[in-house]
A and B are shown apart, each in its own frame.
Chain A
Amino acid sequence: MSELFDQFVVEAQELLETAGAALLALERDPADRASVDELFRAFHTLKGASALFDMAPFTRLVHAGEDTLSLLRDGRRGMTPALMTPELADRLFRALDQCARWVAALEEAGALPADAAEAAEGLVRGLAGGEVAAGAAASGGEADAFPWVAALTDAERAAVGDGALTAIDYTPDPECFFTGDDPLALFRRVPDLRLLRIEPSEPLPPLAQMDPYRCILRFRALSGAGMEAVTPAFRSVPDQVRIGSVTLAAAAVSPAAALPDSLAAAMLEEQARILDLPGSTAEQDSRRAAVARAVAAILTALGQPTERGAVEAACVDAGTMRRFLADGPAEKPATAEPRSASAPVPRRALRVEPERMDALMALVGELSVVKGQLGPLVRRAGNGEMARDLKSFSARLDSLVGDLRHAALRLRLLPLARVFDPLPRLVRDTARRLDKNVELVLEGAETEADKDILDVLGEPLLHLVRNALDHGIETPERRAATAKPPAGTLRVRAFQDKGGVVVEVSDDGAGIDPAAMRRAAVAKGLMEPDAAAALSDTDAVRLVFAPGFSTAGSVSDLSGRGVGMDAVRAAVERAGGRVEVVSTPGSGTRVRLSLPLTLSITRVVVVEAAGSLYGIPVALVGGVQRVPRAEIRSVKRAESVVLRDRVVPLVRLRRLLAQPDDERSRETVCVVLAELGDGPVAVAVDDVGERADVVLRPMTGVLRGLRGYAGTAVLGDGRLILVLDLRELL
C-alpha cells in the first residue's frame, strides 16, 4: 500500500495548499461562493482520501472542518458565509496547519505522531464552537477527558465493542523502574481489558542515547469493567493515572459493509426499490433500463443467467421485481455481458526523486567539462583527414551536450509559485498581528527557476516580506496622515533576466532614510563620521545589508531588520546571486534579488593573478575594464578609482591572496567591478580571460578550512581554477 500512501501524501499537500488559498480568498470576500465550495471540497476530499488509511485523528479533524464549512455553505444553524470571521478563519487555518504538519510527519515517519488524537481533539472542539474543555477531573469520567477514545481506529473500535467502558490513561513516572512499579503488571490486574495501547510519552531519542532505565511510555486502555473494579489496580500510582467512564456508541454499519453473501440479496432488493422511486417518465424509463441490466448481471454472477427480456418485463415496480426474483428466474442464458476494449492509460506527471535528478545534473556537468577537453585535442590534431573528422565529431558532440544540458536543466525548473505560495498566508497573518492593512500583489509566479535556486530563495523572500510589513508599510493612521491610501501595497514580482531569475519585493511604505542610516552607522561605531558623510545616498541605504546593522526603532518579534537583511544578502550571494536595494524616503523600498538559473553550473569570469587562474561568479561582476594606471588614486594604503562616475575602492587580487605585487609596470590595470551587496569594489587582476560554465566543487580535505574560496572547478581545457568567494575575501 506504500505507493498509495505516497500518493496520498502528495495529494494531501496539494489539497491543503488549495484549501489555504481558498480560505484566504474567502476571508477577503465572505460572499465568494466559489471559495466556500473550493474549501469545502478540499476538506471533503481529504476526509475521503485519509479514511483509506489508519489515521483517525486526521480524518476526524478534516471531517470537523468539512462540517463547519457545510454549515457555512448551506446557511444552516444560522450560519452564513458572512460569518467567516477572522477568528473562524484562524481556527480553520490552525486545522490546515495541523494537517500540514501531520502530512509532513506521514511523509517522514509514515505515521501520525503519538499526540495526534489530542491535537485533533482540541482543534475539533475549536471548530465545533469553541467551548474549550475545562480541565477534566482525575476520575470525573467524561469522554472529553479521554479524547483518544473518540479517535480509535476502526479495528480498535471493533475490538472494544460498544456501550459503557472504563478508560485508563496512565503515564508512569519516568523513574518508575526504580520505585518498583511495573506498569505492564498493573494492566494485567485490570478486569475485562479490551484495549491496551502503549505509546511513547515523548519523542523517542536516537537509539544510542536511549536510557533503558527511564520509562518514557504512556499506557491507554479500555476495560469493559466498571470504574470501581478498575481503580484498585492502580492504587499505588494515583498521581500518574486518570480513570473515567466513557460510552462508545455502536459504530454505524453501512449496508454495503454486509457480507458478500447478503450483498447480492441487498443489491437485488435495492434494484426493486429503485423502480418505485419518484421521477419523470423519462427518468423512470432510464432507471428501469439500468435496473434491468444490473439485475441481469447480478443473476448471471450468481450463476442464474436469465433472459434479458424476462428481466425487463419484471421492471415495472418494486412488487413485480420482488415476485420475479422470488419465483426464481428462468433458465435461459443471458447475452454475454462484458465487453472487451483496451483501456487508455491516463497521462500522469512523472515524479522523480531529487537525488536522482541531482545525480543526472552532476553527470551532465561532468560531461560538459570533459567535452570541453576535446577542444584543445582537436586543435592539436592539425589538418589531416582524421583531424577533420575529429573536428566535425567534436562539433556534433558540442551541440548534443549543449542540448542535453538544456534538457536536464529544464527538468529541474519549477515555477516560482512554489516560493510564492506561502506569501498570502504570511502577509495575512503578519498584517493582522501588526494591525496593518496590506494588499499583496504577486506577479510572475509562473517564472521558472532551478529547484536549488527556489530552495535558496524561499527563506530570504519570507524575510524580505516580513521586513516590508514590519518596517516598511506604516500603520493605517500613519498612512492617512501622509495622504496615502490606508492599505499599503506589497508587490512581489519575478521575471527572467539574462540567464538568471530576478525577484523584486517592493512596498509603498516609509522607505529608508539615508540620513538616518548615516547617523546609525556612526552611532554604532561602524563608520567614522566623515566616511559616513561621504557616502552617497544609495550607498547609505545599502548599509542595511551590513552585518550587525539595525535601524528599526524597536526590534519586534517579527524581524530585527539589520541581522535579517545581512542573512538575506549572505544566502543570495552564496548562491552566486546579488542583492540590490533602492529606497525613496516617504514612498517606499524595493529590494531586488538576482539569482542564477541553476546552482549546478556556475558561470565564472576567469581571471589571472600571479600565474594562477581564478574564477569570479559572473553574477557578481558588474563589468570588466582597463583603467589607466594614473587614474588609480591612493590615500595612505587604500586605493580607489572612479568608475562610472562613482568612487570605487580598489583592491588588488594579488594582495588579497598574499602574493607579491606585479613587478611589471603597465600602462593600464585590468579591473573587475564586483557588485557586492554593500557597494561595488574594483578588483585589480593581472589579466581577464574567458567566461566559462563550470561545475563548482566545494573544497574538500585540508582545503576545506581555507577561507575566501567558493570551491574548485575544472575548465573546459582541463585546467583547474579556484573560484573566489569575494565577500569572504574582502
Chain B
Amino acid sequence: MSGPRVLVVDDAVTVRAFSRRVLEADGFVVDEAVNGIEGLERAMAAPPDLVIVDVNMRKMDGYTMLRVLRRDPGLRDVPAIMISTESKDSDREQALLAGANWYIVKPPRPEVLVEAARLLTGRPPNREDAP
C-alpha cells in the first residue's frame, strides 16, 4: 500500500471506521487518532498527506489540534479537512480560522469525502488510479 496517507482524528469509533472504510476502498492509507493530542502525536511520528479532524473531542479539540499543527515547522502545510455536525457558516468560519482548508458537515457522503481527500492530496477526481 502506497497511497496518500490520511490521518483521521475523531473520538467516535464509528465515524473513524466509516472514514477508514471509505478512504481505504479508494486506495488511501488511513491512520487513526481519538483526540487532538493523539492526532498530533501520530502526525509528528509519521507526517500524513492529509488530516481529517473532528471538532468536539476529549482532551484536545479539533480547533486546538489544527492551531498546533499549523505552528509545527514540519506539519504547518499539511492540508486539513475539518468535519463536524454543525452546518452553520460561523462553524465553518471557525474551522478555517483554526487552520482547516476545507469543511465538511457530518455525516459526510462517502463520495464527497473521497473526492475532497483526492483533491487535497493531488489525485485526479472521478477516475480510478493508483499513484
Interface positions of A (Cβ within 8 A of B): 3-4, 7-8, 10-12, 40-41, 44-45, 47-49, 51-52, 252, 254, 256-257, 260, 263-264, 267, 270-271, 273-274, 277-279, 282-283, 286-287, 289-294, 296-298, 300-303, 334, 337-344, 346
Contacts and interface: CB of A to CB of B under 8 A. Distances in A.
B60 interface: no
Q: Which 10 A-B pairs have the closest CB atoms?
A: A300-B122, A286-B70, A297-B122, A289-B77, A51-B107, A49-B14, A340-B2, A254-B105, A293-B77, A338-B4
Interface of B: 1-5, 11-15, 17-18, 21, 29-32, 46-47, 49, 54, 56-58, 70-71, 76-80, 84-85, 87, 96-97, 99, 101-109, 111-112, 115-116, 118-126, 131
A343 B104 contact: no
B52 to A, nearest CB: 12
B125 A301 contact: yes
B85 A51 contact: yes
Contact of B56 (A44, A273, A300): A44
8 contacts: A10-B13, A48-B12, A267-B102, A290-B80, A290-B101, A301-B124, A338-B5, A342-B1
A211 B62 CA distance: 56
Given A270-B96, A298-B120, A263 B14 contact: no
A268 to B, nearest CB: 9
A286 B80 CA distance: 12
A52 B5 contact: no
Nearest to A341: B46
Contact of A8 (B14, B116, B120, B126): B14
A49 B118 contact: no
Contacts of B123: 301, 338
Contacts of B77: 286, 289-290, 292-293
B96 A346 contact: no
A248 to B, nearest CB: 17
A293 B105 contact: no
A126 B92 CA distance: 30
Contact of B87 (A252, A282, A289, A301): A252
Contacts of A334: 122
A252 to B, nearest CB: 6
A3 B20 CA distance: 12
Contacts of A290: 70, 76-80, 99, 101
Given A44-B85, A340-B2, A344-B31, A301 B102 contact: no
B87 A254 contact: yes
A306 to B, nearest CB: 11
Given A48-B106, A257-B112, A297 B79 contact: yes
A278 B112 CA distance: 28
A302 B102 CA distance: 17
Given A48-B15, A287-B70, A301-B125, A277 B120 contact: no
A263 B116 contact: yes
A264 B118 CA distance: 10
Contacts of A260: 111-112, 115, 125-126
B29 A343 contact: yes
A54 to B, nearest CB: 11
A263 B32 contact: no
Nearest to B42: A344
A705 B13 CA distance: 49
Given A7-B14, A48-B107, A338-B4, A294 B85 contact: no
Nearest to B38: A346
Contacts of B96: 270, 273-274, 277
Contacts of B46: 341, 343-344
A110 to B, nearest CB: 15
A722 to B, nearest CB: 49
A51 B106 contact: yes
A252 B116 CA distance: 20
A66 to B, nearest CB: 8
Contact of A256 (B17, B56, B105, B125): B105
Nearest to A300: B122
A7 B70 CA distance: 33
Contacts of A51: 85, 106-107
Contacts of A273: 96
Contacts of B54: 48
Contact of A296 (B29, B31, B122, B131): B122
Contacts of B126: 260
Given A256-B108, A267-B116, A301-B118, 8 more contacts: A44-B85, A47-B85, A256-B116, A274-B96, A282-B71, A286-B77, A290-B80, A346-B32
A549 B65 CA distance: 63
